[in-house]
Structure 1
Amino acid sequence: MRTLPARRTASLALAAALAGAGMTGLTGAARADAPPGAWTATEITGLAAPALYGVTAPDLGHAWAVGTQSSSSAPLILSYRHGAWTPQTAPAGTAPELVDVASGGPSNVWAVGQGGGDATAKALHWNGRAWKAVAYPRPLPMAVSVDSRGRAWSIGSNTDGSGAAVFRRTGGAWTDKGLALASGTLLDALAARTPKDVWAGGATSSGDGLWHYDGTSWTQMDIPGDWPHWVLQVAALSPDDVWFYTLPQDPLFSGPTLVHWDGTAFTVTKTPSPSATVRTYAQDVGFLGDIAPDGRGGVWLQDSRTAYYRHFDGTSWTSVPRPVNDLGGWPQVYDLAQVGRTASVRGVGPGAGDRLLIDRFR
């Protein structure tokens, strides 16, 4: 459920022109004690200008991280098993920038990629033994998710941003799930919890960029606020426990919010992240970082602009220092993923030189 910073872009000038309904349900950012555990980092070397854009961890013993290397000219796949990360070989013709990865178990992993021309493989499937290239219905995949039945869902569009749609893998083919969207709508986030509980997020010129699928039809949802919400990330745990990382499209660029759905209503919480650089990075969706469930009813957030992970327990925020590193700063975190249903979380982002770090909380 990742938004690639380089290619998945949308202008805030366009998004700021969106109109919305009145603000309700906004809560503040109180402080709380840090959750038990600590963030650590694993260093991986021997790579060429690496960057990771997506991570998935179906259980404590398995994980996959995907991205690009060699100045964005070759795909990068890392597999975690037996306590170590090792590179895996992508099929010939794989898109050079793998932007997202999702899993339904150690033998059912899906990745999608961008770049490399129309003939490049845009989707990959891991069956527990090898990666296989899979045809994709759009030239620009944006995200992938796996539902409770092990079926892959994905969102993609044309290279000019038109034709955004949601697809489900059925019978060896991608099926369009019928989300009719106005021209200019951006889809960049996806969470398929079950075949009858799917969330798609993005930005649109009319209302909030959030849609829900109940197995039959799509409904555009209305998040409280004075301005439309650009939905950047979705984490769906149950029908009455869904988290969204959003950017309200106000002209003052006030910064992102954390939104929670309890099955009946939305609650909007301002994040403690600084908002001064929102305008500077208006073209870089990835600068806003990501969210992931903490396994305790709360959420982890990394905003890619501070040396802290932010934790929200449903009421209050905690700032937890990131692991110390010698990469000359704090690498951005493009994706966070809960490890199975545990309280462990993994985080990935770009590296420096021939090295990169993969963070983990446990």
Structure 2
Amino acid sequence: MGNLLKVLACAELEHGPIVFLDFEHAQPTEAETAVWNQVSAVLEEAHGILAELQSYNGAGQEIREAIQNPGDLALQEKAWNAVCPLVAKLKRFYEFSLRLENALRSLLEALTSPPYAPMQHLEREQALAKQFAEILHFTLSFDELKMTNPAIQNDFSYYRRTISRNRLNNQQLEAENEVNNEMANRMSLFYAEATPMLKTLSNATTKFVSENKTLPIEDTTDCLSTMACVCRVMLETPEYRCRFTNTDTMLFCMRVMVGVIILYDHVHPVGAFAKTSKIDMKGCIKVLKEQPSNSVEGLLNALRIRKCKNMSKPPNTVIHSYPT
């Protein structure tokens, strides 16, 4: 396919310059290897995390029986034994979010460092751009699964109530050694979010911008808006869609597009939904709505949630008419 990232001169099109990013085959150059290896070690766990979350059934039945029969010690023990391994699993998910946050920071440093512009970075660090996309794909996938699984919140709430009740009775359960009160508080805040992984990455991006005061904020937001544009054009242009060799790449592209939109909205002073935004929001939403609803409803919901949070911004900066 030649260069994995190819800038095509298309001045006759309204889109301006079109970028095709090969999300399927990019390999690291020698200059990218150090960061790529660091991030790759994290991403290797991502598939397993999603598989565990997808198979997470919860302990709803055991919890209901224990609540309905508070005097039955056998049922209390049965519920507790069912919940503890699930909470250990939730802890692993939370700890993975912290590793993902560090990986994102490394990629942001590589993809926004001077003297190169965002487009130049994408040309030079194609494999890192692919890893950035893979992190966003995982993040949106995780949050979609979490939003449709109330058992996560129910199990963790039952765990915390049981711990609190036993503390009042001066009892300490063995499970507290793995998930102590401080860890439980942090996990509670994490899972209380509608989109916890995306919230983690959004906060990490904001922190990256605030800690790198010598780096203009535009370097970060332009990197994000460029990737959003890349994904939108690849999705809406048959010539580029036909280059995908994997049927899952369409959904991958959509998740990445939504992910960078939300990160941009979180970091940019007026957000992605502003009339002055560098992201063509109407075009992005149009692309999503052209896909089967069952494959994009979670993505549209993520944009709806983010748009609602923007309503506190000045009215002239927010477009209220997006048909999301």
TM range (shorter): under 0.3
More strand by share: 1
Q: TM-score, normalised by structure 1?
A: 0.21
More helix by share: 2
Larger gyration radius, structure 1 or structure 2 = 2
